A and B are shown apart, each in its own frame.
Chain A
Amino acid sequence: MTTKQLKSLDTVVIRFAGDSGDGMQIVGSEFGNTAAIVGNDLATFPDFPAEIRAPAGTLPGVSGFQVHFSANEIFTPGDQPDVLVVMNPAALKVNRGDLPDNGILIVDTDAFDARNLKKAGYEQSPLEDGSLAQFRLFAVPLTSLAEKSLRDVEGLTTKEKRRNKNIFALGMTYWLFSRPLDNTIKWLTQKYAKKPQHVEATTTALRAGYAYCDASEAFQVRYEVPPAPSQPGLYKSIQGNEALALGLVAASVKSGLPIFYGSYPITPASPVLEALAQYKNFGVITFQAEDEIAAVTSAIGASFGGRIGITASSGPGIALKGEAMGLAVMVELPLVIINVQRAGPSTGMPTKTEQSDLLQAMFGRNGDAPIPILAARSPSDCFEIGFEAVRIAIKYVVPVLVLSDGYLANGAEPWKLPHKFEDLPDIPVHFHTDPKGFEPYRRDDVTLARPWVKPGTPGLEHRIGGLEKDRLTGNVSYDTANHQHMTDVRAEKVARIVADVPDLEVFGDESGEVLVVGWGGTYGAIHSAVRRCRSDGISASQIHLRHLNPFPANLGEILGRFKKVLVPELNTGQLILLLRARFLVDAIGLNKVEGQPFKVREIVSRIQELSA
């Protein structure tokens, strides 16, 4: 056996790409989980088509999963891969443009037959025409090696054995980056607990891939990426949708109000429904409604009954919920509406990320119908935002809108777990029960919240509805001055939530050349870009909005301290419209709608231009 070289790297981006049916999402997320256990900082980016199984071997069927893992603190899944694993010619064609010169390219040669080459539009094999010479190419017959390694496993067809090529490839990458196998073996053992032959096959294939590299002359160098320094504590890797569901449950426990979650399946919001359906022992009721409108109206009915009503969807579904959200504004009940945004308009690109529903969130209802809006900035932040949305909804007796997006929903990062129950804020709940002098719309002096009254409370029988209400009795009123008053008070009530919105903290200089203002899932890319510019000596600063309505109290003042304000958004310019309207600031947009997150370098180069 030859002695292999071991090199240490600070940070690596690896991308797995193959057919939709090749199991790229599984190996990608497992690679990420192992990186987390090893103690690397990490960020993941699954990128897959909307079709469950597009025709095998074709370009539209290519599915990818990128993992950025590092010995330092990182904020994005990386602009481009250092290592690319491709399972067929189509995956090579789609992804090779992203791989820099001298990048590591691992290819399953078994898939490079005439049929697959033709489907991917190759006239001759790129493995043979020298067109991959700029890469460190490892051409390996993954499929047949996987099959051979399972020669002695009984109870599997040849086809089933060959399907383990993805796990074999994972084993190879574990060798390449000196990763332990045990975490993935444990996971596979649990996943296939009811199919022991699959446990044997997958774990054997994983070890075989690892052993192959160890033995192969081709692999002379392996790498290690040491753990990243982190604050002491308990961590786990979490995706945005998972974190959101946990945040909602945490708020439910803290408030003592069980969740009613009305939802209609939609990409990319469905995993929240699926997660909450696991938590029935917390009293959660999940209601898979007949449509988006029933999902939101059933949640309003639940809130009327004294639960915390929650509904979630993506842009198209939120459009359908608009009228009911207006009803919730009118009757002033707590409600949480979650929009896991995707590329639009219309059906758009369901599995691709975008932030183009901000103005829909602000204004997408008939009449003057203001709703507080919160937006998560990272996968683990979805926990905090979900929790906070419930807290505000209950405190102000008001519907609250949460914006997430496909990038946050499916991406993962290490999450420092709240240690004790007491670490989470309390959520006091007050149901009005006193019939003496009861008026359904008599408000709290500070929050302007109206009393929340559960049906079933003796002596408090009353009627509410979508018709304009008298300012105190809640009875139907067409009085002109009353409508003016009620419109004003609904706006004022949302404005007063600013008392619960923390002031923004500026990252970087408190005043200066360029301020980069973002919101939602672009936090990581903007933060990385601003750090990089600052280390290059550019005066760049960052603020990031998690509260979009009302804005933090100090936003206007901060904007005024900088010469230039740059607003990167994955839309054609929505926050910038609000900032310009509200603060008369001559902000500059950086806009992209390609269904992909920002690359750090895209933001860096715009900052450089502005500061030149």
Chain B
Amino acid sequence: MTTAMDGPKLTKKDFVSDQQVRWCPGCGDYAILSSVQHAFAKLGIPRHKIVIISGIGCAARFPYYVDCFGFHTIHGRAPALATGLKVSRPDLSVWVVGGDGDMLSIGGNHLLHALRRNVGIKILCINNRIYGLTKGQYSPTSPVGTVKKSTPMGSIDRPVNPISLALAAEAGFVARTVDVFGPHLQETLLRAAAHEGSVFVEVLQNCLIFNDATFSNVTDRASREDNVLYLEHQKPLLFGAGGDKGIRLNGLKPEVVRVGEGGVPESELLVHDEKDESLAYLLSRMEGDGFPTPIGTFRTQEHVSYEAAAAQQVRTAREQKGEGDLMKLIHSGDVWTVP
């Protein structure tokens, strides 16, 4: 586990590297970068103990811009490389940053296995439903019918739901936040940092150039209240202006209901429970059809982390066999002497 440091308090500025940021003006990544730098300053972890690992894509340039240790690796493989690092060095705070193409397409397999192994790495999947760095092809999260340069007649494959996938992959901590929701993003990162085990955070992000306004229902100030459902542990699922709407369970299906005067009482609403597997999955499926987009922590579960279990096996082996003795090992077995 990473431990808090004794020393001067850090600020966002301490995490700004000397490299010029090369994202497009107006890119959602700027806001995410700023929130990450703010959040890192609040972690209580010294800079040299933090590592950001990335794959390939616009989002994967992240490590260059944060003044800590960083490794910009190859397409899709960041979770695997981060696994090797975290298992080798459990003392480090290891973050993985990548986009929807990097994580869910070319790196889908590594994402799945890093999450289910419960490796203590914090994965930020920055989802803008588009390939940006290759100049605007549809991605595995693009809706069916997405017309882009490689899909002039519209994409025909059904998109993957990142939160449902992460839940199914047994991720220890699963959350969603939004590029421009600064305080919420920071709060989510701080909770992610405190979680022992695998973390998956989907960050909805706007690509101004190739897929502008893909999440405008969530980010537009005018419609935000009606379209965003903030998940809070042990709180009823309320949204809308002044909390006038809520989510109720009708049989096994959620429905949107009016709350308060003329509507249903709050006591009939679903109450969020981060430990409830079924509820987490049900919430992850809420999309469109008048349903709001849930933001916040879908699920947390506590299991021993992979790196802790690996270290424990080494300790156990040493207790049982003693510290490795090389010459004893080499000279063991059916040995004979030639005089």
Contact = CB atoms under 8 A, between A and B. Distances in A.
Interface stretch (A3-11, A100-108, A245-253): A245-253
Interface string B163-204: 000000000000000000000000000000000000000000
Contacts of B335: 234-236, 417
A399 to B, nearest CB: 14
B334 interface: yes
Contact of A301 (B48, B82, B324, B326): B82
Contacts of B324: 249, 253, 279, 281-283
Q: Max chain B CB contacts within 10 Å: which of A237, A289, A305, A458?
A: A305
Nearest to B69: A455
Interface in B56-91: 63-64, 67-74, 77, 80-89, 91
Nearest to B56: A466
B53 A301 contact: yes
B43 to A, nearest CB: 15
Given A235-B336, A246-B330, A299-B84, A455 B92 contact: yes
A334 interface: no
B74 to A, nearest CB: 5
A220 interface: no
A253 B67 contact: no
Interface of A: 33, 36-37, 39, 183, 230-237, 246, 249-250, 253, 260, 262, 279-285, 287, 289-291, 293-294, 297-302, 304-307, 309, 323-324, 327, 331, 417-418, 420-421, 454-467, 475-476
A294 B89 contact: no
A257 to B, nearest CB: 10
Contact of B74 (A236, A323, A454): A323
B83 A287 contact: yes
19 contacts: A37-B336, A236-B334, A246-B330, A260-B84, A280-B317, A280-B318, A281-B317, A285-B314, A287-B87, A290-B110, A294-B109, A298-B83, A298-B84, A301-B53, A302-B87, A306-B89, A421-B326, A455-B92, A465-B64
Contacts of A463: 17, 19, 63-64, 69-72
Nearest to B319: A281
Nearest to B112: A290
Contact of A236 (B51, B336, B339): B336
Contacts of B326: 249-250, 253, 282, 421
B88 A455 contact: no
A605 B321 CA distance: 53
B113 interface: yes
A324 B317 CA distance: 31
A461 B69 contact: yes
Contact of A234 (B48, B320, B329, B337): B337
Interface residues of B, number: 58
A306 B86 CA distance: 11
Contacts, number: 194
B67 A301 contact: no
A262 B84 contact: yes
B331 interface: yes
Contacts of B67: 461
Contacts of A324: 74, 77
Contacts of B314: 280-281, 283-285
Contacts of A304: 71, 81, 84-85
Contacts of B63: 463, 465
B71 A465 contact: yes
B310 interface: yes
A301 B79 CA distance: 10
Contacts of B68: 461
B25 interface: no
B338 interface: yes
B81 A183 contact: no
A343 B53 CA distance: 37
Contacts of A36: 334, 336
B110 A294 contact: yes
